[in-house]
Structure 1
Amino acid sequence: MAASPTDSDVWPALRVADWEPTRDTLHMWTQIVGKARLAHTPLVNHWWQVPLYVSARGLTTSAIPYRNRVFDIEFDFCDHRLTIRDSNGSARGFALEPMPVAKFYTLITGALDELGIETHITATPNEVVTAIPFAEDTAHASYDAHAANLFWRQLIQVDRGIHEFRSRFLGKVSPVHFFWGSFDMACTRFSGRTAPKHPGGAPHCGDWVMVEGYSHELSSCGWWPGGGEEGAFYSYAYPEPDGFADYPVAPDQAFYSTEHRQFLLPYEAVRTADAPDATLQRFLQTAYEAAADNADWDRAALECDPRRWRSSR
């Protein structure tokens, strides 16, 4: 019988500095794939139709409608392939290996054409300071297969933990999803009230994108593979209520960043904790309470016990 994995295996270590070139290349590749999904999917509030999702092999678009069929695109970080499949049983793909963004863009657009999936995207990246058109980007060309696999294994744990947290909310709440614009996992709870118009300001991204994303009062949490030695969990509120930054958020390693206007918890603080899962839940819950208590959310009406029917099974 195989031994049970240890926490150090389950929550893998990956220093940002050790894979940053691969991370930045993957960021551009996921933007191309995400924009293909955006091109074919009807708007769902707050752009919930555009992210990617953690899969048993990597990251997937899930099913995308196209005329009278559907297709999906998956980054397989086990066999290191990009695969496009459609509901007619056809598939195309290519190896994930070191290559410039320009070549990746050519390969994926060619594969979509071969499948008869006519796709038009705005072929420049969003939410990055330097937005090189995809067809011209030879600067991002790294792919460390081992690092990509470790990153996916991190995402599995993040996805699992945030899904547990999501299950305790009865009100309007987003899926747990991976936003390719900001390259982070996220899940957002809503109070049910509208919010002031968001000022925008994200680089190479229309202000109207943020206006849609932040149209209602929210508390959002997630994880970004940056902002710290091994990345960071985060939690913020929009609009940020008075008293939010001073709320006692756990564990002790959590802190409020005045630069980012959000609570941060280093990934390694969870990874090295005696009980990583419980540590993450304490952070997510107390940071949510910082928003909900200070903004006077109707918590009794919005929260629930995900195990409420367990005794009836």
Structure 2
Amino acid sequence: MNQQKPHAGNAWPTLRVADWTDTRDTLHMWMQIIGKVRLAHAPLVNHWWQVTLYVTPRGLSTSAVPYGTGIFDIEFDFFEHRLNIRTSDGGTRCVDLEAKPVSRFYEETMRALHSLGVPARIQARPNEVEPAIPFAEDDHHAAYDPRAAHLFWRQLVQAERVMTDFRSHFVGKVSPVHFFWGAMDLACTRFSGRSAPPHPGGAPNCGDWVMVEGYSRELSSCGFWPGGGEEGAFYAYAYPEPDGFADHPVTPDEAFYSTENGQYLLPYEAVRTAADPDQMLNGFLQTTYEAAAIHGDWDRAALEDNPRRWDGQR
């Protein structure tokens, strides 16, 4: 049994993007397969919230997905390095997470689902990437470094923990802290309550209508993705972006507005090496949200509250 300890040493782990790019790209394709299985079964929830994955104490999970009169879930376990599939009638199957081409992972996963009686018809090619190699034909992505996958999960654990605290200060419509497998990022999105203009789309190998649904309401979004810096980056953006957003003063000093990406970026390594990583990241999340809310004229008095407002009654 793998005895890795998730919080040995520094809770914010070091993981250079250049050191695990091949594993990241393979894992991205595997996550798209599992996300598409959830998409095939779960009813639409605004902004595609029904398709996401969630950080767990062992990895990333679909959470419960309906099928027939039962439910199932699928979890990437980054301790044992297995894909675990469970159904509400007691069935279980495992697929090993190891160096193997996407085509083999796809075949093994579909076979495991079929053996459990779970229909698994999906659009069998990736979205939001270029080129979009059909899963059954993808023998190019075949790397898997278990240590890197585990470290990436630990990055997600830290990001999810701080973002969940940040989320708790908002009482308006706000998404869960969840993992989008299309772009491979952990995200949390707040909404002003107003409609937004139709999104122009433009994501590779992804219908514009997908983005129209995702951005149908005025929003401020933040998250973490394994790119944009030596060790990944935290990001924040607004849609539609109000005048003055890009020039709003934000913290920390290491944060900057990327015209190329249309969003604020904060290198993960700046947070990891800070004297107080939680405080630095919270400052970034709060000030970039304020850039959207202030310049977008959000009704902040109605949308924000203190999550500890009932502490004295407990």
TM-score bracket relative to the smaller structure = over 0.9
Instruction: Show the 5 A alignment for 1:213-252.
Output: 213-252=214-253
2:3 aligned partner = none
Count of paired positions: 309
Instruction: Show the 5 A alignment for 1:160-171.
Output: 160-171=161-172
Q: Any idea what the Cα deviations from partners look like across 1:284-308, whole Å, max 9, x if unmatched? A: 0000000000000000100010111
Provide the C-alpha distance between the structure 2 equivalents of 1:40 and 1:159, rounded to a whole number of angstroms: 26
Q: Any idea what the Cα deviations from partners look like across 1:165-192, whole Å, max 9, x if unmatched? A: 0000000000100000000000000000
Provide the C-alpha distance between the structure 2 equivalents of 1:59 and 1:44, rounded to a whole number of angstroms: 20
Residues 1:8 and 1:277: Cα distance change in structure 2 (over 3 Å): farther
Report the aligned-residue RMSD.
Answer: 1.0
How far off is 1:8 after superposition? Answer: 5.8
1:112 aligned partner = 113
Q: Is the 8 A contact 1:7 1:276 kept in 2?
A: no
1:308 aligned partner = 309
How far off is 1:7 after superposition? Answer: 9.7
Residues 1:193 and 1:7: Cα distance change in structure 2 (over 3 Å): farther
Provide the C-alpha distance between the structure 2 equivalents of 1:264 and 1:150, rounded to a whole number of angstroms: 21
1:141 aligned partner = 142
Instruction: Show the 5 A alignment for 1:48-87.
Output: 48-87=49-88
2:290 aligned partner = 289
2:123 aligned partner = 122
Q: Is the 8 A contact 1:200 1:207 kept in 2?
A: yes
Provide the C-alpha distance between the structure 1 equivalents of 2:119 and 2:52, rounded to a whole number of angstroms: 20
Residues 1:36 and 1:8: Cα distance change in structure 2 (over 3 Å): same
Residues 1:209 and 1:45: Cα distance change in structure 2 (over 3 Å): same
1:91 aligned partner = 92
2:191 aligned partner = 190
The answer on 1:265 being equivalent to 2:266 is yes
The answer on 1:31 being equivalent to 2:54 is no
5+ long unaligned stretches in structure 1: none
Provide the C-alpha distance between the structure 1 equivalents of 2:87 and 2:130, rounded to a whole number of angstroms: 35
How far off is 1:118 after superposition? Answer: 1.3
5+ long unaligned stretches in structure 2: 1-5
Deviating above 6 A after TM superposition, structure 1's stretches of 4 or more consecutive aligned residues are none
Work out the percentage of aligned pairs sharing the same amino acid: 69
So what's the TM-score if we normalise by structure 2? Answer: 0.97
